[in-house]
């Protein structure tokens, strides 16, 4: 009886143990199934701005700050003393070379001219009479009716009166020139400024201010400076070019091209105090977009880099000893690409090595990514410094 009871208890304990083990195994399998059905979500792509690497012709230039100046500037002055009778110009108007600007009272100079002409007429009459006498003395000398001394004296008188007539001619020319000075004409074409003397005033040749200032503003000049180190580059560019080097004048903010001209002067020495060299460009200025005294940014174009690889300057990243860019691969992940930058100008970087045209590179958002990061294209800024926005296209 006891053995049967003990046997039943053993069977029951074994069954309970099997049930417990089965439950644990079932719970473990359930957890594995749940784990397989709900994997952890992947990290979302990082939004960055992308652009395409471009290949284009890029001008090579040196930039400096300059000032527009008249190509020529003349202070018009009276060359003789006299009363200013009238003015023949309107302040601020354009005048042509030879145009009458002012009129002085001419009566004194007219009287001097008439006096010189009268003196010439008198001397010419005396010369004509002296020549007739010389002719008579020549005949008398041949007949031994006059002495050699009388003949020589008359001959000298003719020469003296002939010289007097030539002097009278010179005096007449001088008087005519003085009379012409009463008509004051424009020596150059240009634009007149404010009238400095009103009609009715007495003007003098020694006056310092003059009557008016004429500035030649079409064409106009821009005087600017560059570092002295640029002289050798300029000389090489001039020797390689059969035409004068091009000069571009921009507004102070560098955004608007005002005019394009040509280089006419590289000064013959470098200023040792500033280490700069002075240059001058000449510009056609029919619309008067350049004005004397105006500050401009001047670009001296030295040549052109054909089919250059370019990206916006913001693409270029710098480490302690190199430059690099983030290139987006076909699977939208990024890699760090070392690059060699030849030059940065106008917000555009010219790349010598490391990038090829058409590649997508990160323009903005580099601080959020690293090698292997998956990215998505965000809208590009309106101005991309010479490279077009890549968007999400591949």
Q: What is the CATH number of the domain that holds 168?
A: 2.40.50.100
pTM of model > 0.75? no
Residue 314: DSSP 8-state:
G
- Residue 184 included in any domain: yes
Q: How confident is the model at residue 12 (pLDDT cuts 50, 70, 90)?
A: low
Could you tell me the two tokens for 62? 């040196």
Residue 122: DSSP 8-state:
H
User: Average pLDDT, stretch 214-224?
Assistant: 96
pLDDT of 28: 55
Could you tell me the two tokens for 86? 């009238």
Res 366 pLDDT > 90:
no
CA atoms of 286 and 389, how far apart (whole Å): 38
pLDDT of 132: 94
Q: How confident is the model at residue 392 (pLDDT cuts 50, 70, 90)?
A: very low
As a residue count, the chain comes to 394
Q: How confident is the prediction for the chain on average, in pLDDT?
A: 86
Asked if residue 281 and residue 169 are part of one domain, the reply reads no
CA atoms of 196 and 184, how far apart (whole Å): 14
- Residue 11 included in any domain: no
Q: How confident is the model at residue 103 (pLDDT cuts 50, 70, 90)?
A: very high
Asked if residue 194 and residue 87 are part of one domain, the reply reads yes
How many separate domains does the chain show?
3
Asked if residue 192 and residue 249 are part of one domain, the reply reads no
Asked if residue 97 and residue 196 are part of one domain, the reply reads yes
Q: How confident is the model at residue 126 (pLDDT cuts 50, 70, 90)?
A: very high
Range with the poorest average pLDDT among 249-258, 336-345, 354-363, 375-384: 375-384
pLDDT of 393: 43
Asked if residue 280 and residue 198 are part of one domain, the reply reads no
Asked if residue 312 and residue 273 are part of one domain, the reply reads no
Could you tell me the two tokens for 225? 């400076």
CB-side exposure of 246: number of CA atoms within 13 Å?
A: 10
- Residue 13 included in any domain: no
Res 192 pLDDT > 60:
yes
- In degrees, to the nearest 5, what angle opens at C-alpha 173 toward C-alphas 167 and 179? 135
Residues 6+ apart with CB under 8 A from 94: 189, 190, 191, 192
- Residue 32 included in any domain: no
- Which of 200, 247, 241, 244 is closest to 221 using CA atoms? 247
Asked if residue 86 and residue 155 are part of one domain, the reply reads yes
Asked if residue 341 and residue 298 are part of one domain, the reply reads no
Residues 6+ apart with CB under 8 A from 325: 311, 315, 316, 317, 336, 337, 339, 354, 355, 361, 362
Euclidean distance between the first and the last CA atom of the chain, given in angstroms as a whole number: 88
Res 101 pLDDT > 90:
yes
Q: How confident is the model at residue 251 (pLDDT cuts 50, 70, 90)?
A: very high
- Residue 42 included in any domain: no
Q: How confident is the model at residue 394 (pLDDT cuts 50, 70, 90)?
A: very low
Q: How confident is the model at residue 381 (pLDDT cuts 50, 70, 90)?
A: low
Domain that holds residue 311: 48-58+306-378
pLDDT of 193: 95
Across 298-315, b (16+ Cβ under 10 Å) vs e yields bbbbbeeeeebbbbbbbb
Q: How confident is the model at residue 73 (pLDDT cuts 50, 70, 90)?
A: very high
- Residue 43 included in any domain: no
pLDDT of 9: 58
pLDDT of 64: 93
User: Average pLDDT, stretch 91-119?
Assistant: 95
- Provide the CATH number for the domain around residue 52: 2.40.420.20
Res 142 pLDDT > 90:
no
Task: Single out the residue in 150, 171, 203 at which a domain terminates.
Answer: 203
Asked if residue 125 and residue 197 are part of one domain, the reply reads yes
Residues 6+ apart with CB under 8 A from 232: none
pLDDT of 274: 92
295-312 and 348-353 strand pairing? antiparallel
pLDDT in tens, 288-334: 999 999 999 999 999 888 888 999 999 999 988 889 999 999 898 99
CA atoms of 154 and 181, how far apart (whole Å): 41
**Residues 109 and 175 sit within 8 Å (Cβ to Cβ):** yes
Task: Single out the residue in 273, 304, 335 at which a domain terminates.
Answer: 304
- Which of 350, 359, 384 is closest to 59 using CA atoms? 350
Q: Calculate the CA 246 to chain-centre distance.
A: 9
- Residue 208 included in any domain: no
- Residue 160 included in any domain: yes
pLDDT of 224: 97
User: Average pLDDT, stretch 32-43?
Assistant: 56
- The better pLDDT of the pair 44, 186 is held by 186
Residues 6+ apart with CB under 8 A from 263: 238, 244, 245, 246, 247, 279, 280, 281, 300
pLDDT of 378: 80
Asked if residue 315 and residue 297 are part of one domain, the reply reads no
Asked if residue 298 and residue 217 are part of one domain, the reply reads yes
Q: What percent of the chain has pLDDT over 70?
A: 85
Residue 206's Cβ-count burial label (10 Å; 0-12, 13-18, 19+) is: exposed
- The better pLDDT of the pair 371, 378 is held by 371
Bridge partners (DSSP) of residue 265 are: 280
Asked if residue 328 and residue 225 are part of one domain, the reply reads no
Question: What own/partner pairs with CB < 8 Å and gap ≥ 24 does 58-61 have?
Answer: 58/304, 58/305, 58/308, 58/310, 58/345, 58/348, 58/350, 59/299, 59/301, 59/303, 59/304, 59/305, 60/301, 60/302, 60/303, 60/304, 60/305, 60/343, 61/248, 61/299, 61/300, 61/301, 61/302, 61/345
pLDDT of 4: 44
């Amino acid at each position: 009886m006891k053995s049967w009871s003990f046997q039943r208890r053993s069977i029951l304990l074994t069954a309970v143990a099997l049930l417990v083990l089965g439950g644990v195994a079932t719970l473990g399998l359930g957890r594995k199934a749940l784990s397989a059905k709900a994997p952890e979500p992947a990290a979302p792509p990082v939004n960055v701005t992308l652009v395409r690497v471009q290949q284009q012709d890029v001008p090579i230039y040196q930039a400096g700050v300059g000032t527009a100046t008249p190509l020529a500037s003349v202070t018009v002055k009276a060359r003789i003393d006299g009363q200013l009778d009238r003015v023949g110009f309107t302040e601020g108007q354009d005048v042509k070379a030879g145009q009458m600007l002012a009129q002085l009272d001419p009566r004194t100079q007219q009287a001097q001219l008439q006096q010189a002409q009268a003196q010439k007429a008198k001397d010419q009459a005396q010369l004509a009479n002296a020549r007739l006498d010389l002719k008579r003395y020549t005949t008398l000398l041949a007949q031994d009716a006059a002495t050699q001394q009388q003949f020589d004296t008359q001959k000298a008188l003719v020469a003296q009166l002939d010289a007097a007539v030539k002097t009278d001619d010179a005096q007449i020319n001088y008087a005519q020139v003085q009379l012409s000075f009463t008509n004051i004409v424009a020596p150059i074409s240009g634009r007149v400024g404010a009238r400095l003397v009103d009609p009715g005033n007495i003007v003098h040749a020694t006056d310092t201010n003059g009557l008016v200032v004429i500035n030649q503003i079409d064409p106009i000049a821009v005087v600017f400076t560059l570092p002295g180190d640029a002289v050798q580059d300029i000389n090489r560019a001039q020797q390689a070019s059969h035409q004068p080097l091009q000069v571009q004048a921009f507004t102070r903010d560098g955004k608007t091209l005002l005019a394009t001209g040509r280089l006419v002067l590289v000064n013959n020495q470098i200023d040792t105090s500033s280490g700069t060299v002075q240059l001058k460009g000449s510009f056609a200025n029919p619309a008067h977009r350049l004005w004397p005294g105006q500050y401009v940014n001047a670009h001296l174009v030295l040549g052109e880099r054909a089919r250059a690889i370019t990206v916006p300057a913001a693409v270029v990243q710098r480490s302690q000893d190199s430059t690099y860019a983030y290139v987006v691969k076909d699977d939208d992940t990024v890699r760090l690409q070392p690059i060699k930058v030849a030059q940065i100008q106008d917000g555009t970087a010219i790349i010598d090595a490391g990038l090829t045209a058409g590649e997508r590179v990160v323009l903005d958002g580099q601080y959020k990514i690293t090698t292997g990061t998956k990215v998505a294209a965000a809208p590009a800024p309106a101005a991309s410094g010479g490279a077009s926005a890549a968007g999400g296209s591949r």
